[in-house]
Amino acid sequence: MSEPETIAVYDAQADDYDRMMRKEAEEQPIYQEFVASLPKGAHVLDLGCGPGNYARLFAEAGLKVTAIDASAEMVQRADKIEGVNARQGFFDDINDVDAYDGIWASFSLLHAPRADLPRHLAALQKALKSGGQFFIGMKTGTDGGRDNLGRFYEYYTIEELEGLLRTAGFTPDRNWTGYGKGLAGQY
């Protein structure tokens, strides 16, 4: 993500977002499945880490965690977590090759413009070790735009997203859906 208005919202709403995500991260069993699928001591990338709530859970599980977010406020919070190496960066800054056993992109890539998502997915595929695990969380739909806080979103159908993932070299094997109000109070 590199869209200034969206980043500014996350910087300004960091306290509220941190509270919301801490509860959500701890209540979602999907992260436990992700951790269980990785080798002991695996190196994971938390892309769009926010305040680091998932990164914290990964570090507590004994994983080596690199966390990246475009929001300086979010990175400051994530970097205070023991076992988490957080840095400010954008999706285009991912240029590693065979670096990660797992990549966790939980509702971060939905901020990428539609034309850029294929490039970002290709870079993530290169950054993932052979046999590595990739988790992507996205909101489904057919359009894009801004929420009532001013954050930019792109929405994809499941079929469209799976096609993009396959083109990038991933093998989608599971869909998990859920509904919940986000920071903007919208579903």
Mean pLDDT of 124-137: 97
Whether residue 102 has pLDDT greater than 60: yes
Give the pLDDT of residue 31. Answer: 92
Residue 33, SS3 per DSSP: helix
Whether residue 180 has pLDDT greater than 70: no
Class of the domain covering 4-167: alpha beta
Whether residue 146 has pLDDT greater than 60: yes
Whether residue 184 has pLDDT greater than 60: no
Share of the chain above pLDDT 90, in %: 77
Mean pLDDT of 3-14: 93
C-alpha torsion sign, points 89, 93, 96, 97: positive
Whether residue 173 has pLDDT greater than 80: yes
The alpha-carbon radius of gyration of the chain (Å, integer) is 15
Mean pLDDT of 45-67: 97
Q: What is the mean pLDDT of the chain?
A: 91
Domain ranges of the chain: 4-167
Q: pLDDT: is 143 or 84 the higher one?
A: 84
Instruction: Quickly state the pLDDT bin for 83 (edges 50, 70, 90).
Output: very high
Secondary structure E strands in the chain: 43-47, 64-69, 84-88, 100-106, 128-137, 144-146, 152-154
Whether residue 187 has pLDDT greater than 50: no
Residue 91, SS3 per DSSP: helix
Whether residue 32 has pLDDT greater than 50: yes
